[in-house]
Chains A and B, each alone.
Chain A
Amino acid sequence: MMKIVTILCLLFLSPSSMHVYADTPLDEKNDVEQEKNRSNNSASQNTPAQNNLPLEDFLTKLKIEQGIANFTQKKHFTFLNNPIVSKGILKVHQTRVIWQVNTPVFSKLVIFGGQVWQQMDQGNNLHSSNDFQKVASHASVETLIRAVFTGEINRAQWNITLDDEQCLQLSPTDLILSQAINKITVCVPKSPTQRFVTLTDAQRNLTEIELNITSNQLLDEDIREFNIH
């Protein structure tokens, strides 16, 4: 579940550069990634001062107060010919996050106070139920949420690099995380409303998430949605 939080948080990074990664076919993407890895390796030989400055700037821009975005998630399994596609909305309010899948099957997660809560009675009526159950996680999600929204990513858990194409590359150093996630790439195109996240798991399955920010403001009704009790 911590993985989910990490990804959700990363989805909401601030725009800084354009990237056409999401439009690239899957095989080519892998090549692009390998290329990026190479460039990261060579970048890692630079002095810390050279690398840290843009990264810190990038992380500073991560701070976000509130907003709503639509997302499309494509999950490519190695054992399936077609990706599993889902659509939904993401809402952020201070340190709270809602990750809601609307189609094809409704599900809703609320993340706050270091905990992940899942809506239990998941009907199609989006606001029909307020019964949430805490989801147990291996490690602290609170640290991750705080990290991403304050730009203080826990270096104990993640190796962080910013590649030449202004994509943030995260690879887990935490044992539990590394068993599931291989790498997360967050790319921010020039368009201020778009983000692209790719996640490669330990079995080389790839998840692509495209995010379109629709609003930087939340209505009172949206804010109330974060209060699950």
Chain B
Amino acid sequence: MKIFVNLTSINKLYLWLVQCLLLVLFLVFVVIEKPISFNSNLTSLFSVEHDNQWQEIQTKIESNLNNSLLYLVGHQKQDDAINATKNLVTQLNKMSGISTVSAQLKNIPNQQSMIDSYAGFEQQLLTPTYKESLTSEQKNIFDLQFQLLNQLGDSLVTKTINKDSTLAFADFLNRSPFPSSKLTITTDGYLALNYQNKHYILVTMKTTEGAFNLNTAKGIVTQLDHLKKEPNVDYIRTGALFYSFEASEQAKKEMQWLGGLSILATLLLIYFAYRRVITVACTVFLISISIIYGFLGLHLFFDEVNILSIVFAITLIGIAADYSFHSLTELQNISSTNTTPLKSITSSLILTFLTTALGYLLLVIVPIVIFKQIAVFTIFGLLGALLTVLLVFPYLHQKFNFQNTVANITNNSSIFRLINKNHKKILKHWQNYIYLLVMLLALSITALTQIPFSDNAKSFYQVPQHLFENESKVKNMLGQKLDNQYLLLQANTPQALLENEEAAIDLLNNMQANHVFSNYQAVASWLPSIKQQQHNNQLLVTATAQGQFSSLKEILGSTYLDVKPTQQYLLPKQWFDSTLGKVFKPLWLEDNGKYYSLVKFSGINDVNTLARELSVLENSIFVDKLADTEKELATFRLVLAVIFIAACLAGLIVFYFRYGLKKASYGVAVPASAFAIALALSAIFQGNLTLFNLAAGLVILALGLDYSIFYAEHGFSIAITKTTLMSALSSIFVFAVLSFSSTPAIASFGQTVFLGIVITFLFAPIITKISGKREQHASE
């Protein structure tokens, strides 16, 4: 600490320049070596990095899911829709950032290619229904066989009767490998649908980078916006990329507006208070330096930064500006010949930084990426602000006139005197105000026990209306599509994996019959394991021997051929090369010598039952990103509450050694109570509370402890009233502005901090009435 006092102003400046230069060089090096990328993945924002066997493969699967987007090109005439589609595809193929564009489907599995996919293995494939009809005493296999023969417009029986006369193979193929949808396929292979008297053609594409990479998202959306469109053609588009782009645009807009307004309000406040352009310039400089330090921190610790973290980081402006207020107030009252003008507040500033940094440091423990990023940005930013205040401001004080004119002092002081007078009234009846605080705290705690918490990650951000409408329209147009939840299975060999899937399929079929979901896609329901193929073939051989096919034999006459025992089995490697196998290939993955498969669902009606029933399966995990996030958030808010208590205790310990138990208790109790009251008020305004309301607690505590420190260190005076008022006002500006954010998470955070600061500012001076250490010094 002595270095900040003993060095001459110019040496302090040199020291600052050297460390600044080193840091800038370091920043340049880091930017070149490990450039940071910005993303807008709002679901990964809240997720924990699981260090388990599933994490890597899940990341692979999900990165593949979020790079798809689609267009629906519509016209009253199908030919015109197809022509417009062709033009669109030509343009899309020329675009950068798009890896594949698909409109015309090739090699769609048709009946014949599906039959060919099982050539030589036809008598070892049974559906669960066929199996049940063979084995159940209540059922007669002929009923099923007759239904197949009698099925309207069916040609499967004709095509397969000479390969398998038991119709088991026809039954096996009598289903769709695709989830049901409203799409039809034109003769030239376009996926078409009819909606409100228009013909729409589906165009799907994949981007080279994931949708959440903002570096590429903007470029792609801009190119898509500038595509030449045909007149009278309806173009509907959707995909994660558009959400990502809108989120980044919204964040950018908010950063510009909210950040701009905060800075403007802060600067106006400084000018109003100090009436010197140099004070405004110093503050702008300080905020700029702190932002650079903040980004250095982000570059050091993260490869990818979420755009929402940056919006939250606006709060840094308010806190960094506090350092400026404290020092400017001091510099105004000290002669420029004084070589150590900030001597008396150096320890307060350092203590303030330590308590704030400690509070934010605790946020790093929270396993939520966004909080880690906010914490790192703020701690580094404040460090930069502290170093600048202590090392640069003394030099500037010598070179520039910070003194205020007498007239202005009178003007300004009148406001500060007014606040000071009101604070004096509070101090006069300080015990009553303590009772009031205790009463409000008790009421708030009672209210908080009745308020529900919302852990729904989707409610934390607002989806732009037009994107939401587009998605609903596309969903409505396409009909049912695959849900986001999936079952992930793992095994050491392909056969073991198929057997795992078969165990899952037994459960899934039961749940499907109970309408837990509408449909599922699984490899094993189209490719049985060797064990299952053996069993199936044996069932058919036994049923023949038992005469179960005699009724069918009677109808078919000489067409009927007996079942042959099989010696060869269809294997995954061979099947995945077939036309049908290629459809299922994306559900089958190999990673680090292990085999993984996905089971996808459509029309999930009861996700809780599905998750619960599947939990009994070994070597599998049911992935429900949103539900997992909700569970994690519920845990995190408890963690956050514990961290807040820990921060209070840490503050109490630091305060205890400096100010004694009584003062320390009050110094910590005020911001803690302010937080509880602010939470209760926010809950009343919002109807519920979220993690972000809780996160506000650490900021309120950090700022509240600062006020306590300054009152405890310097006592109650107009100068301290001015400093704390300026500090409170700057924070109030910033957080009040944040509460207008269109992102509910940011708005609720801003609102709670705003309310908390107002309350803590109101009650902070009472600490001067509490007896304890440094009382003598404070009264000076």
- Which residues of A pack against B, CB within 8 Å? 3-4, 6-8, 73, 75, 77-81, 84, 86, 99, 101, 104-107, 114-115, 120, 122, 131, 133-140, 142-143, 152, 154-157, 173-181, 199, 201-203, 205, 207, 229
Chain B 161-185, CB-CB to A under 8 Å as 1, else 0, gives: 1000000000000011011111111
Chain B 499-525, CB-CB to A under 8 Å as 1, else 0, gives: 000000000000011010011000000
Whether the pair A143, B182 counts as a contact (CB closer than 8 A) is: yes
CB of B569 within 8 A of chain A? no
Q: Chain A: which residue is nearest B514 at the CB level?
A: A131
State in angstroms the CA–CA spacing of A160 and B556 once bound together.
Answer: 36
CB of B111 within 8 A of chain A? yes
Q: Would you give the shortest CB distance from A189 to chain B, in whole angstroms? A: 21
Chain B neighbourhood of A105, CB < 8 A: 142-143, 146-147, 150
CB of B606 within 8 A of chain A? no
State in angstroms the CA–CA spacing of A139 and B179 once bound together.
Answer: 9
Chain A neighbourhood of B178, CB < 8 A: 136, 138
State in angstroms the CA–CA spacing of A139 and B147 once bound together.
Answer: 21
Given A77-B158, A156-B186; A140-B152 close (CB under 8 Å): no
Whether the pair A181, B78 counts as a contact (CB closer than 8 A) is: no
Q: Chain A: which residue is nearest B178 at the CB level?
A: A138
Q: Chain A: which residue is nearest B179 at the CB level?
A: A136
State in angstroms the CA–CA spacing of A131 and B512 once bound together.
Answer: 11
Given A3-B154, A138-B176, A201-B153; A175-B187 close (CB under 8 Å): yes
Stretch at the interface among B191-199, B328-336, B408-416, B723-731: B191-199
CB of B35 within 8 A of chain A? no
State in angstroms the CA–CA spacing of A130 and B150 once bound together.
Answer: 22
CB of B559 within 8 A of chain A? yes
Chain A neighbourhood of B479, CB < 8 A: 114, 140, 142
Whether the pair A7, B149 counts as a contact (CB closer than 8 A) is: no
Given A180-B155, A203-B155; A136-B175 close (CB under 8 Å): yes
CB of B531 within 8 A of chain A? no
Contact of B513 among A131, A136, A157 (CB under 8 A): A131
Chain A neighbourhood of B199, CB < 8 A: 156
Contact of B155 among A7, A154, A202 (CB under 8 A): A202
Chain B neighbourhood of A142, CB < 8 A: 182, 479
CB of B189 within 8 A of chain A? yes
Contact of B110 among A99, A135, A179 (CB under 8 A): A179
CB of B1 within 8 A of chain A? no
Contact of B78 among A6, A133, A156, A177 (CB under 8 A): A156
Chain A neighbourhood of B153, CB < 8 A: 3-4, 6-7, 180-181, 199, 201, 207
Q: Chain A: which residue is nearest B105 at the CB level?
A: A175
Chain B neighbourhood of A78, CB < 8 A: 158
Given A174-B184, A174-B186; A179-B111 close (CB under 8 Å): yes
- A sample of 10 cross-chain residue pairs with beta-carbon separation below 8 angstroms, ordered by A number, consists of A79-B161, A80-B557, A134-B518, A135-B175, A136-B179, A138-B178, A140-B182, A140-B184, A143-B182, A178-B187
State in angstroms the CA–CA spacing of A95 and B186 once bound together.
Answer: 25
Q: Would you give the shortest CB distance from A101 to chain B, in whole angstroms? A: 7
Chain B neighbourhood of A84, CB < 8 A: 146, 149-150, 555
Chain A neighbourhood of B155, CB < 8 A: 179-180, 201-203, 205
Q: Would you give the shortest CB distance from A93 to chain B, in whole angstroms? A: 20
How many residues of B sit at the interface, in one of the four size bands? 35 or more
Whether the pair A201, B192 counts as a contact (CB closer than 8 A) is: no
Q: Chain A: which residue is nearest B176 at the CB level?
A: A136
Chain B neighbourhood of A205, CB < 8 A: 155, 158
CB of B65 within 8 A of chain A? no
State in angstroms the CA–CA spacing of A183 and B157 once bound together.
Answer: 18
CB of B159 within 8 A of chain A? yes
Whether the pair B186, A154 counts as a contact (CB closer than 8 A) is: no
Among A78, A134, A207, which residue has the most Cβ atoms of chain B within 10 A? A134
- Which residues of B pack against A, CB within 8 Å? 78, 108, 110-112, 142-143, 146-147, 149-155, 157-159, 161, 175-176, 178-187, 189, 192-194, 197, 199, 479, 512-513, 515, 518-519, 555-557, 559, 603
Chain B neighbourhood of A80, CB < 8 A: 555-557, 559
Chain B neighbourhood of A140, CB < 8 A: 180-184, 193, 479
Given A105-B142, A120-B513, A156-B186; A7-B152 close (CB under 8 Å): yes
Q: Would you give the shortest CB distance from B681 to chain A, in whole angstroms? A: 46
Given A133-B512, A202-B155; A139-B150 close (CB under 8 Å): no
Give 11 new A-B contacts, CB below 8 A, not counting A181-B153, A201-B153, A229-B515: A3-B154, A6-B153, A79-B161, A84-B150, A107-B147, A114-B182, A175-B110, A176-B110, A179-B111, A179-B155, A201-B154
Q: Would you give the shortest CB distance from B606 to chain A, in whole angstroms? A: 14
State in angstroms the CA–CA spacing of A78 and B157 once bound together.
Answer: 11
Chain B neighbourhood of A156, CB < 8 A: 78, 184, 186, 192, 194, 199
Chain A neighbourhood of B142, CB < 8 A: 105
Chain A neighbourhood of B513, CB < 8 A: 120, 131, 133
Chain B neighbourhood of A131, CB < 8 A: 513
Chain B neighbourhood of A180, CB < 8 A: 111, 153-155
Chain A neighbourhood of B108, CB < 8 A: 175-176
State in angstroms the CA–CA spacing of A140 and B110 once bound together.
Answer: 17
State in angstroms the CA–CA spacing of A19 and B187 once bound together.
Answer: 32
Whether the pair A3, B152 counts as a contact (CB closer than 8 A) is: yes
Chain B neighbourhood of A175, CB < 8 A: 108, 110, 184-187, 189
Chain A neighbourhood of B197, CB < 8 A: 152
Chain B neighbourhood of A8, CB < 8 A: 152
Chain A neighbourhood of B518, CB < 8 A: 134
Q: Chain B: which residue is nearest A109 at the CB level?
A: B152
Whether the pair B179, A201 counts as a contact (CB closer than 8 A) is: no
Chain B neighbourhood of A201, CB < 8 A: 153-155, 158
Q: Would you give the shortest CB distance from A112 to chain B, in whole angstroms? A: 14
Q: Would you give the shortest CB distance from A111 to chain B, in whole angstroms? A: 12
Chain B neighbourhood of A199, CB < 8 A: 152-153
State in angstroms the CA–CA spacing of A143 and B184 once bound together.
Answer: 10
Q: Chain B: which residue is nearest A3 at the CB level?
A: B153
Contact of B180 among A7, A104, A136, A173 (CB under 8 A): A136
Chain A neighbourhood of B146, CB < 8 A: 84, 104-105
State in angstroms the CA–CA spacing of A77 and B108 once bound together.
Answer: 27
State in angstroms the CA–CA spacing of A180 and B111 once bound together.
Answer: 8
Q: Which 6 A-B pairs have the closest CB atoms?
A: A3-B153, A140-B182, A175-B185, A4-B152, A105-B146, A136-B176
State in angstroms the CA–CA spacing of A135 and B603 once bound together.
Answer: 13
Q: Would you give the shortest CB distance from B376 to chain A, in whole angstroms? A: 50
Chain A neighbourhood of B182, CB < 8 A: 114, 139-140, 142-143
Q: Chain A: which residue is nearest B113 at the CB level?
A: A179
Q: Would you give the shortest CB distance from B94 to chain A, in whole angstroms? A: 28
Given A175-B108, A202-B155; A81-B557 close (CB under 8 Å): yes
Chain B neighbourhood of A229, CB < 8 A: 515
Given A79-B559, A133-B513, A176-B185; A154-B158 close (CB under 8 Å): no
Q: Chain B: which residue is nearest A78 at the CB level?
A: B158
Chain A neighbourhood of B151, CB < 8 A: 4
Q: Would you give the shortest CB distance from B538 to chain A, in whole angstroms? A: 26
State in angstroms the CA–CA spacing of A13 and B447 once bound together.
Answer: 66
Q: Would you give the shortest CB distance from B584 to chain A, in whole angstroms? A: 15
Chain A neighbourhood of B519, CB < 8 A: 134, 136
Chain A neighbourhood of B187, CB < 8 A: 173-175, 178
